[in-house]
Structure 1
Amino acid sequence: MGLNTSALSIGRSALLAYQQALQLTGNNIANAANPIYSRQTANFAPLRGNVGGLQLGQGVQITSIQRHVLESLEGRLRGALSDRDAALTRRAALNRVELLLNPLGETNLGTTINELFSAFHELQNTPEDASVRGLVVRRGEALASSIQQTRRDLLLQREDLNADVVALTDRADVLASQIADLNVQIASSEAGNPGAAAGLRDQRTALLQELSSLVHVTVREQPGGSVNVYIGNEPLIEYGTSRGLKTVQEPAGSGLLNNVVRFADDNSVADVRSGQIAGAIEARDGGIDSQLSRLNTLARALIQEVNKRHASGQGLTPWTGLTGTYAVNDANAALNTTAAGLDLTPQSGTFFIDVRDVATGQTTRHQITVDLDGQGGNDTTLTSLAAQIMTTTGGAVTAAVQPDGRLSLNAAAGTSFSFADDRTDVLAALGLNTFFDGRDASDISVNALVSASPSLVAAATNGLGGDGSNAGLLAALVDAPVAMLGGVSLAQYHQGSAAESAVAANAATNALDAADVMLGSLQAQRESISGVNLDEEAVRLVMYQRSFQGAAQYLSVVDEMLQTLLSLVR
């Protein structure tokens, strides 16, 4: 009976082995469309035995389930996924910036720049026309509003990217915890039984891919089946422990805040190099911050260049009282020093104050000298400038330093005053007789006095109402080279900003296309190794089915043999 018992064991082992193999094949077929599933195959081995001194064997068994994965390919795939999703995030953000600076409609920042200087040109021809003066003011207000709106739109996009960094980092933190938990489960399941946790490994692979989509990671498998995960050279996950990720707000200059990714356990900075998080950070810091900086530079140049020219001209209405719009930090500091704190730095030279007798119409010109050569200890301060104005004009114009650091000028009774030929830039620096107010894109506006009274637009250089020569000089500023802008004009600088955004968006698109090609190639390679081929599975299905049927037939024969033996016994 020993032989027949062995024969039954052989048949039984075959039935069990091929039943399991059929189930495994069915599972492969069921997951054929599952992108994170890795194909599994059964490894068979004979059961060895000794029957009557003969090595006949004891049947077959499945020794292990093989999960078809090439870890080096998985690592390259995760890296390509990080690069693709970083490029995708970057392109989406930079496309929005490009659309903001290069809108599809006719109205844009470049248009409003040209419209202001076109209005100055029109004023040159008709300096006494109140409607044209009103047009100049409205165009100036439209330009200031357009600059401020562009800044607000850029800041909104920046805030969105900052919020994305927080949300994506929070998701990465959750994924890291889930991967750490799976590490423990896999190690426990595979203790003494390698390959037993194929399903858990697939789950971990999916989580690692999602994590790689957010941030570039390096994965190193450890003995026992767990993986350590690194961001840069720093561990994020070790066995069942995740250090965690968080964001911290930090100053970024110009009143801006950046959300910075840090490890939660010790607050150290995480070296985020790729993935959606890096794409958002790069678009924020490189794309948007660059355009914000350029916009501020454009606004400062516009304010200062227009104000320098405008301050030397005269409007239809002379001044009887005027207070500068810009204050100094220290009235006793030389006007060109950092202690004075003026955005526009004055220089040595002269300007003129023309005092007009209202009754007679007679005008007297007074020269004011500004000394800022740093020699002799007598450099001009706001205090000394006020004293010089009063002395030089013989009290016709009183000058006083206000408590907030601004300079106030007032004409004596029966007189008025105007300015001419400022070679020092001190008038523009102090905000006297200026067209624009503000310092940069955040607060640029038309001078409130000019806005309320367009007759104050300084179109003339000789004080005559019919003179539009200063308006012509103002109109020419649009194409004049500006040192602050690197020697290009206001119009060219804005065009450069628009072109820079277009080039950046195009580069991001090209990078995305290249990353897509690389990712597609690696995904195809993974599919050839880890993916399910239904034709191959169909072949295995038939093979295992026939093997199962053969085992069943074999058992039927053995059963007949047993019945024959039993009948002999009876």
Structure 2
Amino acid sequence: MSLFSSINQSAAALRASQMGLQVVGHNIANANTPGYIRQELELIPATTTRIGQVIVGQGVLPRGTRQVIDQALAERMWSASTAVSGGETLQAAYRELEDMVGGLDDTGLGSQLTKFNESLHNLANAPADPAARDLVLMQANALSGAINQAHSDTQAAKNRTNDQLPILAQTLNSLSSRIADLNIEIMVLEGGRSLSSDATGLRDERYKLLEEMAQIVDINVQEQSSGSVSVFVGGDYLISEANYREVYMAYNQATNGQEIRIKETDSPLKAKSGTIGAVQVARDEVFGSYLEELDTFAASLARIMNEVHSQGQGLEGHKRMVGTISVEPGVPLERAELSYEPQNGSFDVQVLDEQGQLVSSHQITVQNLGIVGDSTVNSIIQQIDDIDGVSARVNGDGKVELVADVDGLSFTFADDNSGFLAAAGLNTLFTGSSAQDLAVNDYLMENPHLLSVSKGGVGNDTDAIAELVDLVARPSDVLNGQSLQAWHQQKVATIAESVSLQRSSAEGHKDFYTTLQAQHLSITGVNLDEEAIKLIGYQRAFQASSRVISTASEMLDLLVSL
């Protein structure tokens, strides 16, 4: 081995130290750059050579620059980021629903239900007081309005949530396109991994984009031998090398909302978590489920109240009445499109004179046994039409219409154990069958004196109003043994519990993510003290290599001078 070999060996060491200084300087320069991943110079011993019986090293060779990263830890952190993003989205949705349902002011649903019941108490104490009747109708109108408003607010929140999906789909396409482009640039720069160095700047950018994508949707990232990454969502690939699958918005009839689909396969994007997954859950299970429950509550309120009110009497009889439900008159009751299916039973139609005295009472049979010959709306109407002094028909709007066709006569209803009157919308307090269309019957708003108070005849008793009082607090088969008030209180409590659980879950995910992020930063982040130590090490190695070259040069000069 010659002195020239020693000089060349040290020159290579100088170059390695220079490259090391450059990498350290690059790290220090990017110490505060968001998303920067620390780099290090990888050095390997040069190929050895044999001189006689001795094997001698040939110095050092820079093999490449590598990002310092724990890929398994990074993937765990991405997964935690997905959970945090989804958890915070759901927490916001539950909190918004809680604000709408809580009803801390006088306009809340629970408060209106209580005020309506109090107005019934007032009327029971003064059944002939016109002001008490007006108050009942006013509070009933306020209650139905509160339910309408709750539906409107929840539907608006559901629509706002649904409107986030197109923006998320567009963001996902933008991220996928850029990551696919970076895959190509990285493969070209790294030579398909034929080089030992990482395309660090491009990899940093791709890493940041993957982290951003992980917040939107739960992804599975797999790095290929070529240096590119493949990204999967729910088993379907979204990105593979230079190719990416575009997503688009489509209408889903089952959920009555939009969903994100993969354009190439026309299949739904199977997002279970992240912002996209949480938005879908918030729309369908948070706001959507409450809308369904609110419809159930509104329909139950109308049915429970109407079944009592429809068979009662006010201060006088009816001259003309039109049902509020459009029916199918010629088919069995189960298919007649009534508010609900009446039971097998009967109800009474009473004919009154000008003084409100009973002229005649007629029992109308309602047969619903599921056999041939069961009642239809037409057959029931015919029984009523056969009563002297009363005409009955199904009008052009498909609604049952009854008219007292003799001057001085009127009619009332009583003892309905079939539920037909309320199901057909006759003499009801409320109209509508959902939270959106629930309202007080216009017929009563125009004629408050017809509000049902008696059950044994006009002015004879107050049994009807007595039965209506506290009806909201009584268990009902319509709500599976719950009362209307208990149903509402349970929903408020359930939502409050869901908010608390979601808050705890979101905080837990956030704490876990923070822990993983700290571990990740301890590996990938730039430690200035550590870089300073490396800086001194490369400086000392540069000085020592320079001293070797200087010594070898002096020895060579001495040898030449001999």
After TM superposition, the score normalised by the length of structure 2 is 0.93
**Structure 2 spans left out of the alignment, 5+ residues:** none
Matching of residue 356 in structure 1 with residue 352 in structure 2: yes
Post-superposition CA distance 1:377-400 (Å, at most 9, x none)? 432222122221121x22x01111
| Cα distance in structure 1, aligned partners of 2:124 and 2:152 | 33
Does residue 129 of the first structure (1) align with residue 129 of the second (2)? yes
2:286 is matched with which residue?
287
Matched residue SS, 1:355: strand
Note closer, same or farther for the CA distance 1:56–1:262 as it changes in structure 2 (3 Å cut).
same
CA contact (8 A) 1:127 1:467 kept: no
CA distance, structure 1, for counterparts of residue 456 and residue 49 of structure 2 = 123
Match of 1:346 in 2: 342
**Given the alignment of the two structures, is residue 386 of structure 1 paired with residue 385 of structure 2, yes or no?**
no
Distance (whole Å) between structure 2 residues aligned to residue 289 and residue 375 of structure 1 = 35
The alignment partner of 1:418 has SS state of strand
1:25 partner SS: helix
1:97 offset after TM fit, Å?
A: 0.7
Cα offset for 1:511?
1.3
Per the normalisation by structure 1, the TM-score is 0.92
Q: CA RMSD in A?
A: 2.3
CA shift at 1:180, angstroms?
1.2
Deviation at 1:507, TM superposition (A): 1.6
Q: Which position in structure 1 is the counterpart of 2:449?
A: 455
Task: Report SS of the residue matched to 1:252.
Answer: coil
The residue aligned with 1:230 is 232
* Alpha carbons 1:48, 1:56 under 8 Å: kept: no
Match of 2:362 in 1: 367
Cα deviation, 1:139-195, whole Å, max 9, x if unaligned, reads 111111110111111111111111122211221121111111111111111122133
Query: Do the aligned residues in 1 keep the contact of 2:318 with 2:412 (CA within 8 Å)?
Result: yes
The residue that corresponds to 2:155 in the other structure is 155
* Map of 1:271 onto structure 2: 270
Identity %: 34
- Out of 473, 488, 493, the position equivalent to 1:479 is 473
Mapped partners of 1:170, 1:343: distance in 2: 44
Contact 1:320 1:410 in 2 (8 A): yes
Tell me the residue number matched to 1:250.
252
TM-fit CA distance, 1:557? 5.1
Contact kept, 8 Å, 1:125 with 1:468, in 2: the verdict is no
- 5 Å-filtered alignment, 1:296-375, equals 296-329=295-328, 331-335=329-333, 337-338=334-335, 340-358=336-354, 361-374=356-369
Match of 1:107 in 2: 107
Paired residue for 1:180?
Answer: 180
The CA distance in 2 between the partners of 1:361 and 1:442, in whole Å, is 38
Shift of 1:353: 1.8
Q: State whether residues 372 and 380 of structure 1, in contact with CA within 8 Å, keep that contact through their aligned partners in structure 2.
A: yes
CA–CA separation in structure 2 for the residues paired with 1:10 and 1:221: 37
Q: Superposed, which structure 2 residues align to 1:485-496 within 5 Å?
A: 485-496=479-490
2:292 aligned partner, one-letter code: S
Q: Which residue among 184, 195, 198 is the counterpart of 2:200?
A: 198
Deviates more, 1:551-560 or 1:155-164: 551-560
Aligned counterpart, 1:23: 22
Aligned to 2:423: 429
User: Is the contact between residue 431 and residue 438 of structure 2 (CA under 8 Å) also seen in structure 1?
Assistant: yes
Do 1:116 and 1:143's aligned partners in 2 also have CA atoms closer than 8 Å? yes
Please state how far the C-alpha of 1:465 moved relative to its aligned partner.
Answer: 3.9
Q: 1:176 to 1:361 in 2, by over 3 A?
A: closer
Moved more, 378-387 or 81-90: 378-387
TM-aligned CA distance change 1:88 to 1:361, over 3 Å = closer
Residue aligned with 1:278, SS? helix
Deviation at 1:202, TM superposition (A): 1.9
- 1:103 deviates by 3.7
Q: Secondary structure at the match of 1:87?
A: helix
